Structure 1
Amino acid sequence: MGKIDELINKKKAESAIFATEYEKEAQRLDIAIALTQLRKELGLTQRELAEKVGKPQSTIARIENGSMNPSLTILHEIATKVGKELHVEFK
């Protein structure tokens, strides 16, 4: 485990608020990375993906930069319109 991981774990143990906020950010980052990878896999720009799924380009950009926490409905719509399945799992 690296020093940053140790620091994060320490802060999470010390503060429930930090732990909650950290998990929210981690979730947004995971979604951002997944959507960016999907878009690149499809060979599309943000604008092209937005047009394909019927969403504004700004929505795609906000999801990809982590400033938007998209609903499962939005993620399902994106997946369906590009011929993919959306999987959600509990670990």
Structure 2
Amino acid sequence: KQAVQKENQKLDIAIKIRDLREREGLSQRELAERLGKPQSTIARIENGNVNPSFKTIEEIANKLGKHLQIRFV
């Protein structure tokens, strides 16, 4: 059960990052350039293949002019 919850959380983050990037009208490459990271890193995050660190999520939010909020539900 715990493994499933962790996987769902990772996929939820991936979807939120992809949706935000698309709303901003950016390609994966453009977002990667803003972050100073390879495009493959963004692809792995959005595919749910990697669980991004809090620092990376915060960098994405900052580079897109967004505020990061954390909620416990």
| Counterpart amino acid of residue 22 in structure 2 | K
Query: Which structure's residues are more often helix, by fraction?
Result: 1
Q: Is residue 22 from structure 1 mapped to residue 22 from structure 2 by the alignment?
A: no
Counterpart in 1 of 2:68?
86
Return structure 1 stretches of 4+ with deviation > 4 angstroms: none
The normalised TM-score by structure 2 is: 0.94
Q: Structure 1: 5+ residue runs without aligned partners? A: 1-18
Superposed, 1:39-78 pairs within 5 Å as: 39-78=21-60
- Give unmatched runs, 5+ long, in structure 2: none
Once the two structures are aligned, what percentage of the paired residues are identical?
58
Instruction: Supply the distance in 2 between the matched residues of 1:55 and 1:85 (Cα, whole angstroms).
Output: 20
Normalised to the residue count of structure 1, the TM-score between the two structures is 0.77
Q: Which has the larger radius of gyration?
A: 1
1:38 to 16, 20, 37: 20
For this pair of structures, how many residues does the alignment match? 73
